[in-house]
Structure 1
Amino acid sequence: MKKTLIALSLSLASCLSLASVSAHAQELPTLGSLQQDSAASQAFTVMQGKHTLPAWVKKGSTDSPTQTVRLDGKEYWVFSACKLHDCAAEQLAMLYSPQSHTMAGVLSRSNEDSTAQQLTWLNVSDDLSIDGKTVLFAALSGSLANHPDSFNYQ
């Protein structure tokens, strides 16, 4: 009986912990929902600038869960996505400031015949030049997802 109660308590605690993590993840917008926000859409247009982005960026991407980081005391949402069925070939990572409604990003392109990776930096301001690029590249490589607390720079 005692073992059953302990197991039940651990199971319930685990479920509550997962629900808490899940609830927090649901509070952050997804890349798709961000496009519905007019300020974020305008920030995306500014970020894109004169660059032509692949069609999958706006429709047809595989999106990763949104994460948060702090850079110089400011919160940023980090979005990452890749080309559907070909993530190794094309990826995009973006930093969005919900306070200032600014966005920066990096587009990565690779091909199977080359070991080179082409990075196109999008609207990375002087404020974000080092730490912002570090976070964006970490989002592309998966390091941000694996070590989220390692990329908060005060």
Structure 2
Amino acid sequence: MKKLPFMALALCLATPAFAQSTQTTADLVNTVKYRHAYQAMTELPDWVTKAAAVSVPTETLKQNGKTYLTGHLCKPHDCGDHQLDVVFSEDGKATWGLLSRRYGKTLYKLPLGEPNAETLAVLTASYHKNNPDDPAK
């Protein structure tokens, strides 16, 4: 009778090993079967990459002794649900963005260009300035 609990425990511990795949996520992404879908998922929309968007005049911002330009873009005919706020370094060597996309009543914001906390705050403030009545602040 003592063997039954021991065998049950051994089986429970071994089960995850049987269910686990040896293929990593990166391996899977690089297979012919999944590569195209993965690349499509990671692409930014054309209105963002080509700046084929409705936009506002840029504004100058001074932050920590440096000068930046801020701007706002949105997808034509769907500005409420597709927006991009942008901060450009004055020398043109760096740019950061905040891509905002609404699905139903939920607003998702994706930082682009790895902005630091201060720059992300500027991007968020730009979003709020261009969306003063947005309840999803």
2:104 pairs with 1:120? no
Once residues 66 and 85 of structure 1 are traced to their aligned partners in structure 2, the CA distance between those partners, rounded to angstroms, is 21
The equivalent of 1:73 in structure 2 is 65
Contact 1:138 1:144 in 2 (8 A): no
Aligned residue pairs total 91
Once residues 122 and 83 of structure 1 are traced to their aligned partners in structure 2, the CA distance between those partners, rounded to angstroms, is 17
**Alpha carbons of structure 1 residues 74 and 98: separation in structure 2 relative to 1, 3 Å:** same
Q: Secondary structure at the match of 2:91?
A: coil
Deviation string for 1:62-118 (max 9, x for gaps)?
00110111111100011210011111111001111122611111100002x22x211
Which residue, 43, 46, 54 being the options, matches 2:45? Answer: 54
Q: Which structure has more RCO (C-alpha within 8 Å, separation ≥ 6)?
A: 1
The equivalent of 2:121 in structure 1 is 134
**Alpha carbons of structure 1 residues 72 and 143: separation in structure 2 relative to 1, 3 Å:** farther
2:109 pairs with 1:96? no
Gaps of 5+ in 1: 1-49, 146-154
**Alpha carbons of structure 1 residues 51 and 96: separation in structure 2 relative to 1, 3 Å:** farther
| TM-score, length-scaled by structure 2 | 0.59
User: Displacement, 1:143?
Assistant: 6.1
Bigger shift: residues 133-142 or 80-89:
133-142
User: Displacement, 1:60?
Assistant: 2.7
In the alignment, residue 138 of structure 1 is paired with which amino acid?
Answer: A
User: Displacement, 1:144?
Assistant: 10
Residue identity over aligned pairs, in percent, reads: 30
User: Displacement, 1:59?
Assistant: 4.4
Once residues 123 and 88 of structure 1 are traced to their aligned partners in structure 2, the CA distance between those partners, rounded to angstroms, is 23
Once residues 65 and 131 of structure 2 are traced to their aligned partners in structure 1, the CA distance between those partners, rounded to angstroms, is 18
Gaps of 5+ in 2: 1-40, 133-137
Greater fraction of residues in helix: 1
